[in-house]
Amino acid sequence: MTIEEKLGWNNQYSRITVKGSLYWGEVENPWESTAPTHYRSLTKTLQVNAEHAFNDRYKLYGTYAGDFYTRKTVYDFLYLPDSTNAWSHEQTVRLVDEFKPWDNLVIVKGFEWNGTKNYNKMQYGKEKTIRDMDDANLFAQADWMITDRLEVIGGFRYTHNSEFGSAFTPKINLMYSPGNFKIRAGYSRGFKTPGLTELYSDFNMGSVSHNIGNPDLKAEHSDYFSVSGEYTWQGRLMLTAELYQNTVDNKINSYNVDIEDPKPGELGTELRYENVKGVRIRGAEATATY
């Protein structure tokens, strides 16, 4: 069963929207089943968006998004109260301002916070069943149309993660468009942290394998380069081509390990995670559309 609601308010300069939902889900056993338990879940979401235009050249945006999930065990024959076996809280707060000093220049900058907190008495093993991680980010970007044919977009993001420290990730993209041609070139630095499952998991994936996290995983860092070209003719023919390369350090990788002599009741395969020190991905693409 799902209940959803959306509310909105706006005037000439401001706009606010609020959206929320509640979802109940329950998987009951068949009538003749002798299973003593079944599961019930509840998911709550909330999203708030607000924006205000101070004038034609300056706008401010704010966003909050929250997702809250709870999973409980229901006892069918023992007359015990429901038991919570898992919950997760995912939240994001973002504040962005957009400034347009000239008609050909747009500057965007802002702040973002992301928080994750999970409880799972089956997924994280028996020692520590609550895991959490959060990150705070500052970012800025400028979109400058230097001439009718040349556009430059540059920016950066500074991230501080509660588990993996800080990272600075810049990017720049150029586009030159003479006549029917468009030529693009770009570079961006990437930063990706392991998820809670990759770090701390300790559970059986059905009858397939035993999933084991690696708390010693490091964050990924990457450098991405690309060059592309585009040609259009009379709105009927389009030709595109692209070359790219992505170099990743400490890429997070999963792999299966066969257990030679599993104990009775244990699975014969383990799914583990590790960092690959150096990965290089190169590619070329070309398309023609008529």
Q: Which regions of the chain are under pLDDT 50?
A: none
Distance CA 70, CA 44 (A): 9
Q: Give residue 78's pLDDT.
A: 76
> Considering the entire predicted model, what is its pTM?
0.84
* Per-residue model confidence as pLDDT tens digits over 212-249: 899 999 999 999 999 999 999 988 999 999 999 999 99
Question: Beta strands 269-289 and 209-212: pairing type?
Answer: parallel
Q: Which of 71, 89, 79, 67 is nearest to 25 (CA)?
A: 71
CB-based contacts of 89: which residues, under 8 Å, 6+ apart? 66, 67, 68, 115, 116, 117, 118
Q: Give residue 208's pLDDT.
A: 67
Q: Which of 193, 196, 201, 204 is nearest to 252 (CA)?
A: 193
